[in-house]
Amino acid sequence: MTSTAPRPLALSAAGPLRGTVRVPGDKSISHRALMFAGLAVGESRITGLLEGEDVLATAAAMRAMGAQVERGEDGVWRVHGVGVGGLLQPRTALDMGNSGTSTRLLMGLIASHPITVTFTGDASLSSRPMGRVIDPLTEMGAEFTASPGGRLPLTMRGICPAVPIAYRLPVASAQVKSAVLLAGLNTPGITRVIEPVPTRDHSERMLRGFGAELTVEETAEGRVISITGEAELTPQQIEVPGDPSSAAFWIVAASIVPGSELTIANVGLNPTRAGLVQVLRMMGADITEAQPRIVGGEPVADLIVRHAPLSGIEVPPELAPSMIDEYPILFVAAALAQGRTVARGAEELRVKESDRIAVMAAALEAAGAHVEEVADGLIIDGSGGDPLPGGGTIASRLDHRIAMSMSVAGLACSRPLTIDDVSPVATSYPNFYETLDAVRR
């Protein structure tokens, strides 16, 4: 992946946000759709795929390992898979750009194939530890040579047959859970993941849809997900719903900018991803679900969001796994609320594209908010709905969610708020700023 020149941007308060927004396809589902289709025998068709850099990195990796992955002029992606166990040795290293999801899930896929693969990435991805995935996959028989701290560049050698394991997640992580389940696809016997705290379940839903034998049992230890190996996946037609993590920016923007009313179309509302909507409603947000429906096994609705005064709350820590990617934009909502918000239980933010707790604390302070950083989150004393002073410059740290979150904060600043580089937004939401221009009237 080629690096791009920094793209600074300044934003400040203007008029209300009005209109209808259609967000990109869900990133988590897009990654999985390409991977699982690449392991099915026959042609799968995918509509609504997120065509950001992260997902394109997954498409390129699956192509490098033998799957035929092509986008038609009609916007439909067609994938001819190699079958479970059929991944081929790539000729060169897999460049994952900024995508931690691609890297961790592909490590799981490769772990039970007899191939050797090197992963590289950009500066941000190369700073992120991969040990949480390396540990269980090593138990299954894969071998790793990583950079110090379990980071990229990293070379792994898969094994076939791998060893089925029962793995209890030490921290709530859908990526680690998915990596183990994907390794289990080509592992004889039954591979189990014990999940004390539920995390997003896109892998479970989609693996079943492709024909894998997968069960979920609620026990005293937590959810036990079991997958029977040496699976045969059948091709599917997949419609990817709108990404709730991308919708989150518009939900908060409409909530904090006076006079706003936005309709956000076709938003995925999987219960394991809808924590932000629940928390914002607790704060007083005006969010209506219209035309609820099921698309490809996932609950979907159009969201109508109107400006409303928000009140600070203590965010239930048990909701953290269902909104972990949305904490940065939640922090922005809290900065404009009345009173104090305590948002904790999110230590996972320390090892995302950036240390999102520290980076958001610094960013909000630069915008004039009152913030206290704690180990697992932030404590924020809101402005009561008054604009933030603004006038500062924000370091986005190559993190797309920081850049978009602070762009939304800029819409509620008296003086221009400058984000030093918004180019990373292309990894997940390529037309974010064009959409902002369209609804900012």
Q: Is 211 known to sit in a ligand binding site? A: no
Q: Is 30 known to sit in a ligand binding site? A: no
For residues 360 and 366, give the distance between their C-alpha atoms in angstroms, rounded to a whole number.
10
Q: Is 177 known to sit in a ligand binding site? A: no
Please give the distance of CA 116 from its chain centroid, rounded to a whole number: 27
In the chain, DSSP finds a helix count (H) and a strand count (E) of: 13, 24
Q: Is 128 known to sit in a ligand binding site? A: yes
Q: Rounded to whole angstroms, what are the CA distances from 19 to 72, 129, 260, 270, 278?
A: 30, 41, 9, 24, 23
The verdict on whether 325 is a catalytic residue reads yes
Closest residue by Cα to residue 330 from 263, 255, 416, 422: 255
Q: Is 173 known to sit in a ligand binding site? A: yes
For residues 171 and 334, give the distance between their C-alpha atoms in angstroms, rounded to a whole number.
26
- Asked if residue 315 lies in contact with residue 322, where contact means CB atoms within 8 angstroms, the answer is no
Q: Can you tell me whether residue 324 is helix, strand or coil?
A: helix
Instruction: Show the 3-state SS of 368-434.
Output: CCEEEEECCEEEEECCCCCCEEECCEECCCCCHHHHHHHHHHHCCEEECEEECCCHHHHHCCCCHHH
Among the listed residues 54, 95, 325, 399, the single catalytic one is: 325
Which of 213-247 are b and which e, b meaning 16 or more Cβ less than 10 Å from the residue's Cβ?
ebeeeeeeebbbbbbbbebebebbebbbbbbbbbb
H-state helical runs in 166-319:
174-185, 202-209, 244-256, 275-282
Q: Rounded to whole angstroms, what are the CA distances from 318 to 265, 334, 339?
A: 28, 18, 22
The amino acid present at 266, given as its one-letter code, is: N
- Residue list, annotated binding site: 27-28, 32, 100, 128, 173, 175, 325, 352, 356, 401
Give the catalytic positions in this structure: 325
Q: State the binding site for phosphoenolpyruvate.
A: 27, 100, 128, 175, 356, 401
Q: Pick out the residues of the known binding site for 3-phosphoshikimate.
A: 27-28, 32, 173, 175, 325, 352
